[in-house]
């Protein structure tokens, strides 16, 4: 990273937020937030920012800390409404599916009240500040999850809804999707009038089995879907010639850390013609740009 004050601020914010989310995402409690809002008349967003600031050890009497508090936190933190996400057509259609196959399990997981989580892609302001988007609910929020022997494979949280649904709504023609997961992208893409078919490439037979038995029957446009068991990169190299698909979505990774190598590998396999979409691409492009500047 270039040795600039802005670069140092960006790196510091990302490190602080990563530490909070990893070590203590529920450090801000309903009681502590209520105390600040009632005793000091702060809005919930202001109170949350103040409590997060304190947990991170920021001292606003110091200019460098005050700068982080003023220029970053207000544009990063979002008090979310459960009804805005619970009303998503996918969640309404699939309900609370449960099932198990070869170590994979469909289950329900939960955000606790005030638990902080990533809720959207990185955003950048005009000056180049990186603004990770973080949200919380005042009350608990349940969401579907696909796990493999306890390890999260995919979830349908506000993050997936905010980052995948806009891509699905842009899909047109014959669509190719790398990675099935819980079928969230396929659900919304199949509902688009301009989408004729969706081919989903998924390497795990167990994930396909769970999807076909517990989720696909609840898809109103499931007849548009064709499921292919196979490796996404092999399919991209050998079976996805130019002119066959109009839209290609790649969603094979858990986050940017494991996604960047796969993102670069798939980018190298692009063919002329389709519109390519990559999950959390803005976030990965930020890290790639920073790496190039080092």
Average pLDDT over residues 75-84: 97
pLDDT of residue 1: 45
pLDDT of residue 85: 97
- Give the Cβ contact number of residue 210 at 10 Å: 25
Q: Is the pLDDT of residue 255 over 50?
A: yes
d(CA 115, CA 242): 45
What pLDDT band is residue 291 in, cutting at 50, 70 and 90?
confident
Query: Over pLDDT 70: what percentage of the chain?
Result: 98
Average pLDDT over residues 110-117: 98
What is the pTM for the complete model shown? 0.94
pLDDT of residue 173: 98
């Amino acid at each position: 990273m270039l040795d600039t004050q802005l670069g140092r601020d960006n790196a510091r914010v990302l490190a602080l937020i990563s530490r909070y989310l990893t070590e203590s995402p529920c450090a801000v409690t309903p009681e502590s937030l209520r105390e600040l809002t009632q005793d000091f008349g702060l809005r919930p967003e202001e109170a949350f920012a103040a409590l997060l600031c304190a947990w991170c050890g920021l001292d606003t009497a110091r200019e460098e800390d005050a700068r982080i508090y003023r220029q970053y936190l207000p544009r990063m933190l979002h008090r979310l409404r459960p009804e805005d996400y619970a009303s998503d057509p996918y969640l309404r259609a699939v309900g609370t599916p449960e099932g198990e196959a070869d170590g994979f399990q469909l289950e329900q997981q939960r955000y606790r009240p005030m638990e902080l989580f990533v809720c959207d892609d990185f955003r950048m302001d005009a000056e180049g500040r990186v603004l990770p988007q973080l949200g919380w609910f005042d009350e608990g929020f349940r969401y579907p999850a696909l796990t493999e022997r306890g390890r999260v494979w995919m979830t349908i949280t506000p993050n997936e809804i905010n980052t995948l649904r806009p891509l699905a709504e842009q899909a047109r023609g014959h669509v190719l999707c790398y990675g099935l997961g819980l079928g969230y992208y396929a659900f919304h893409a199949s509902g688009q009038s301009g989408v004729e078919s969706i081919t989903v490439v998924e390497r795990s037979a167990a994930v396909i089995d769970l999807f076909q038995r517990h989720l696909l029957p609840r898809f109103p446009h499931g007849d548009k879907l064709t499921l292919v068991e196979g490796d996404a990169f092999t399919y991209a190299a050998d079976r996805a010639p130019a002119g066959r698909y109009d839209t290609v979505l790649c969603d094979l990774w858990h986050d940017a850390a494991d996604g960047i190598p796969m993102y670069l590998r798939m980018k190298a396999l692009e063919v002329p013609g389709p519109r390519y979409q990559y999950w959390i691409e803005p976030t990965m492009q930020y890290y790639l740009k920073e790496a190039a500047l080092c």
